[in-house]
């Protein structure tokens, strides 16, 4: 049970601290003063107004619904199933279920690629590979790439190169 967010153990702890700080005589007079203050607040017209406003705010939503005539709101608002049928969700669900059944036949494993066995040529034929040696295989360098060919335009291809003449 919490009163103003303070539990019973917290309240007892607060009383022990107050007893140690105020002492027995001042604690009695201080508690009487606090009780008078609380009584004055609770009997004041301001407190009554606050309580009336709080009660009115709690009943306001219900009162507005009654005045607007929305008491039968459940009949006015369609159910979730009806909204789904209007939006075509039932057909979508059927399509998804059909796809699930179609895909269930597929295996979960990925297909494996197996090399095709090559026929072994008879011994002594030119296609017979040399005997394997214990040395590591050698890596052949890639052939050099030819220089790129630049296409010539018709003006440079048909004209002769300029000649330089020496002055005489």
In a domain, 141, yes or no: no
pLDDT value, residue 133: 47
pLDDT tens-digit series, residues 96-117: 888 888 777 765 566 667 777 7
Distance (Å, rounded) from C-alpha 136 to C-alpha 59? 92
The model's confidence at residue 168, banded by pLDDT at 50, 70 and 90, is low
| Domain count of the fold of the chain | 1
**90 has a pLDDT exceeding 70:** yes
E strands along 16-152, which residues?
A: none
Is residue 90 assigned to a domain?
A: no
**CA 76 – CA 70 distance, rounded (Å):** 8
Task: Give yes or no for a contact between 1 and 8, defined as CB atoms under 8 angstroms apart.
Answer: yes
Domain assignment of residue 106, yes or no: no
| Per-residue pLDDT reduced to its tens digit, 64-81 | 877 777 666 666 676 777
DSSP letter (8 states) at residue 126: T
Q: How far are the Cα atoms of 17, 120, 158, 167 from residue 20, in angstroms, in the given order? A: 5, 104, 116, 124
Q: How confident is the model at residue 137 (pLDDT cuts 50, 70, 90)?
A: low
Report the alpha-carbon distance of residue 7 to residue 148 in Å, rounded.
Answer: 89
* pLDDT value of residue 36: 94
* pLDDT higher than threshold 70 for residue 161: no
Rounded Cα gap, residues 160 and 158, in angstroms? 7
Tell me the C-alpha distance between 1 and 103, whole Å: 58
Would residue 43 count as lying in a domain?
yes
As a whole number, the mean pLDDT across the chain is 75
Task: Please check whether residue 12 lies inside any domain of the structure.
Answer: yes
Instruction: Look up the domain containing 12 and give its range.
Output: 8-73
Is a pLDDT exceeding 90 seen at residue 93?
Answer: no
C-alpha–C-alpha distance, residues 34 and 29, integer Å: 9
Contact between residue 89 and residue 95 where contact means Cβ atoms under 8 Å apart: no
**pTM for this model (two decimals):** 0.33
The answer to whether residue 16 is domain-embedded is yes
Task: With a cut of 60, say whether residue 42 has pLDDT above it.
Answer: yes
Most confidently modeled range among 2-6, 137-141, 146-150: 2-6
Question: Stretch 12-25: mean pLDDT, rounded?
Answer: 88
Calculate what percentage of the chain has a pLDDT beyond 90: 12
Looking up tokens 């009115």, which residue turns up?
56
Q: Evaluate whether residue 24 is within a structural domain.
A: yes
């Amino acid at each position: 049970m919490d009163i103003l967010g303070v539990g019973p153990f917290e309240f007892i702890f607060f009383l022990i601290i107050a007893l140690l700080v105020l002492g027995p005589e001042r604690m009695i007079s201080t508690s009487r003063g606090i009780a008078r203050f609380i009584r004055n607040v609770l009997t004041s017209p301001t407190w009554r107004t606050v309580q009336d406003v709080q009660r009115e705010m709690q009943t306001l939503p219900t009162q507005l619904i009654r005045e607007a005539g929305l008491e039968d709101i459940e009949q006015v608002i369609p159910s979730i199933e009806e909204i789904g049928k209007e939006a075509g969700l039932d057909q979508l669900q059927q399509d998804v279920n059909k796809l699930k059944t179609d895909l269930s036949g597929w295996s979960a494993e990925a297909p494996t690629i197996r090399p095709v066995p090559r026929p072994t040529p008879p011994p002594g034929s030119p296609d017979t590979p040399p005997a394997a040696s214990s040395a590591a295989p050698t890596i052949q360098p890639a052939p050099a790439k030819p220089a790129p060919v630049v296409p010539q335009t018709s003006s440079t291809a048909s004209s002769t190169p300029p000649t330089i003449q020496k002055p005489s």
